[in-house]
Structure 1
Amino acid sequence: MAVKLTKMQKKVNYDAKLSKFLDHYTQILVVGADNVGSNQLQNIRHGLRGESVVLMGKNTMMKRTIRMHAEKTGNKNILNLIPLLVGNVGLVFTKGDLKEVSEVVAKYKVAAPARVGLIAPIDVVVPPGNTGLDPSQTSFFQVLNIPTKINKGTVEIVTPVDLIKQGEKVGSSEAALLTKLGRKPFSYGLIVQSVYENGSVFSPEVLYLTEDDLADKFANGVAQVAAFSLAVNYPSLAASPHMIINGYKNLLSLAVATDYSFKHAEKVEEYLKDPSKFVSVAGAVPVGVDSSAPAAAEKDEKKEEPEESSEEEGGLMGLFD
């Protein structure tokens, strides 16, 4: 016969379990658990078994244990978890790859009906088609302003209907209609809200960043630093190449406009005086010659060939007429 534990004993056991996990794990996923049933949670625990542990509990108990553990061990970084414990949340302790664990957690979703008063997580659209309901249900569709027609003794929806918008509360009529249609438009599961790793807290979107994404973000940051440095005329590592080339352009324009010259401006000045010197010999088109002339000549020759052949044909025909 199982011994029934008192509330105090349950709290002591919970504190010991959470403290043990805080000692052994440095990676934690904070997950939202709204509308997640016990059977579904058991399946998630089974799917994560081996390298991850799911721990649920009251937020007050978790915060209390975290504070006591931080005072006991001197690990103040663990206190960064406390602001994340808001609402119906749980903790997933893991030693595996955070991205893979979050994908496993997201995989366990269960379809659920639209119950009255729930906040719709997605838009619900009723597609056109046969509902399988008898004509006596037509008035029910009329209340919801859904156009229907009777087809082969059943009610048929004529056009798609935007029944519920994301973020809206599900009304009694909408819930009743979806129940009649046998639809379960929503799906619920553990949702990763935040990631904790060795004292750092970040958004779960960071787990899905690729090397190309990081390179793009870094390049964008460098471009912003360079633009700011150029705007305030402050030399920085990002802006120095631009400043040097801009200075060279200024000196070059000065050398072209005046008799002043320097080594790196000589070739530009020489080109401006006589551009024909810089035309390559192989495949070059002399200055002043239309490059389209040879092509036009070839086209003319091709046009003339058919005319000659037609004359020959005409001559032969004349001999035998």
Structure 2
Amino acid sequence: GLHRPLWPRGSAWAACSAARCTMVAKSKKIAYFAHLEECLNKYARGCIVHADFVGSKQISDIRVALRGKAEMIFGKNTMIRKCIRNLTADGEHPEWESIIPVMKGNLGFVFTNNDLGEIMDLLKQFVKPAAAKAGVVAPCSCTISKGPTGLDPAQTSFFQALNIPTKINKGSIEIINDCEVIKEGNKVGSSEAALLAKLNIKPFEYGLVVHYIYEGGVFDPSVLKITDKVLMAKWMAGVGQVAALSIGADFLTEASVPIIIASAFKNVVATALEADFIEFEQVQQVKDFLDDPDAFLASVPACGGGGASDAAAAAAPVAEAKAPEPEPEPEEEEEDIEFDLFD
């Protein structure tokens, strides 16, 4: 006789299907863990981005723009934390452990070996306007400007619900004063969302927002604003304070040595000039400058080296010391003139 295949039925079929789904899910997890580990080893830095209210088409466009420059990875926070914990369990890569505490919310990675500033500028290009939805926390405030709205008078109830003063002008509703409909940080109500939709106003903008920077650890994005110029300015300000403190405390340090030497050199030049002891080049330059400043400056190029500037700086206290005091002008004696009005 004919034999029918013995396919599992009932509870046996359900158990088989569940086992198959479990195997598929497990294989996907293994592949995701391997991909995340590969990116952590392959890329030196990256951005941890927030993706609330970002559409799939928007994500797809960003992926296309990042090809060859960076790689984007999203996944469940629990999977990301478990993967990193497994990778750092043996004590290797302690810098990866700093990622675990910040993985809260709708976050993802944008890994790259290029400049992070370039990647962040590219992400800003894919910020799109969005309508206000009821129940959403407003990322910014929204103000409706006064003027005609184009709505017919039958829709004044939307404005009355929000206490917005209006009037009817030429058959349409006109807002009398500017009104703040939504405040930053507050939830958007259904009335506000309906009114903004009627006015075709999209007050919000959504895109991938960089919350953290990863490069050997997790940092705030504001660290990218620190340039070499900013670092040098901070460094020079600190060196100046150390030098001032060292001179004030009469304690010799590397920061105060150049200032002390320059001050001592000025004293040496002033003493040598006063004693007419012209035995080295710097004193001769200062003497030439004091004898004929115009000729000396004419012989020195406009962007000359440091010798002329040193000579001019050293000559300043000497010139002040040698400047003769102006002699008082003699007062003119008034002659007595005999004058009679009636002569």
Shift of 1:54: 0.5
* Count of aligned residue pairs for this structure pair: 269
Code of the residue aligned with 1:195 in structure 2: it is I
Does 2:114 correspond to 1:66? no
Question: Which residue of 1 is the match for residue 339 of structure 2?
Answer: none
Does 2:75 correspond to 1:57? yes
Shift of 1:273: 8.6
Task: Provide the rounded CA distance (Å) in 1 between the counterparts of 2:231 and 2:212.
Answer: 20
Whether the 8 Å CA contact 1:15–1:65 is kept in 2: the answer is yes
Shift of 1:229: 5.6
Code of the residue aligned with 2:234 in structure 1: it is K
Give ranges in structure 2 of 5+ residues lacking alignment. 1-19, 276-314, 330-343
Mark the CA change 1:214 to 1:274 in structure 2 (over 3 Å): closer, same or farther: closer
Question: Which residue of 2 is the match for residue 135 of structure 1?
Answer: 153
Mark the CA change 1:231 to 1:129 in structure 2 (over 3 Å): closer, same or farther: farther
Question: Which residue of 2 is the match for residue 214 of structure 1?
Answer: 231
User: Equivalent residue of 2:324, what SS?
Assistant: helix
Mark the CA change 1:228 to 1:167 in structure 2 (over 3 Å): closer, same or farther: farther
Code of the residue aligned with 1:276 in structure 2: it is P
Question: Which residue of 1 is the match for residue 203 of structure 2?
Answer: 185
Question: Which residue of 2 is the match for residue 20 of structure 1?
Answer: 38
Whether the 8 Å CA contact 1:30–1:84 is kept in 2: the answer is no
Quick one: which of 14, 17, 40 aligns to 2:58? 40
Task: Provide the rounded CA distance (Å) in 2 between the counterparts of 1:227 and 1:273.
Answer: 26
Quick one: which of 200, 220, 225 aligns to 1:203? 220
Question: Which residue of 2 is the match for residue 315 of structure 1?
Answer: none
Quick one: which of 107, 119, 139 aligns to 2:125? 107
Question: Which residue of 2 is the match for residue 168 of structure 1?
Answer: 186
TM-score (norm 2): 0.67
Task: Provide the rounded CA distance (Å) in 2 between the counterparts of 1:271 and 1:218.
Answer: 34
Code of the residue aligned with 1:84 in structure 2: it is V
Whether the 8 Å CA contact 2:96–2:217 is kept in 1: the answer is no
User: Equivalent residue of 1:13, what SS?
Assistant: helix
Does 2:324 correspond to 1:276? yes
Give ranges in structure 1 of 5+ residues lacking alignment. 252-261, 278-285, 290-321
Task: Provide the rounded CA distance (Å) in 2 between the counterparts of 1:231 and 1:88.
Answer: 55
What does 1:87-102 align with in structure 2 at a 5 Å threshold? 87-102=105-120
TM-score (norm 1): 0.71
Larger RCO of the pair (alpha carbons < 8 Å, separation 6+): 1
Mark the CA change 1:20 to 1:270 in structure 2 (over 3 Å): closer, same or farther: closer
Mark the CA change 1:85 to 1:221 in structure 2 (over 3 Å): closer, same or farther: farther
Whether the 8 Å CA contact 2:130–2:202 is kept in 1: the answer is yes
Whether the 8 Å CA contact 1:99–1:208 is kept in 2: the answer is no
Residues 202-256 of structure 1 show CA distances to partners (whole Å, capped at 9, x for unaligned) of 33233344443333332333345456667877654445667889999xx9xxxxx
User: Equivalent residue of 1:206, what SS?
Assistant: helix
Task: Provide the rounded CA distance (Å) in 2 between the counterparts of 1:130 and 1:59.
Answer: 48
RMSD: 3.5
Task: Provide the rounded CA distance (Å) in 2 between the counterparts of 1:90 and 1:273.
Answer: 71
Residues 127-147 of structure 1 show CA distances to partners (whole Å, capped at 9, x for unaligned) of 122111111222331332222
Quick one: which of 81, 86, 89 aligns to 2:99? 81
Whether the 8 Å CA contact 2:54–2:206 is kept in 1: the answer is yes
User: Equivalent residue of 1:132, what SS?
Assistant: coil
Task: Provide the rounded CA distance (Å) in 2 between the counterparts of 1:77 and 1:9.
Answer: 27
Mark the CA change 1:47 to 1:270 in structure 2 (over 3 Å): closer, same or farther: closer
Whether the 8 Å CA contact 1:123–1:164 is kept in 2: the answer is yes
Shift of 1:116: 1.5
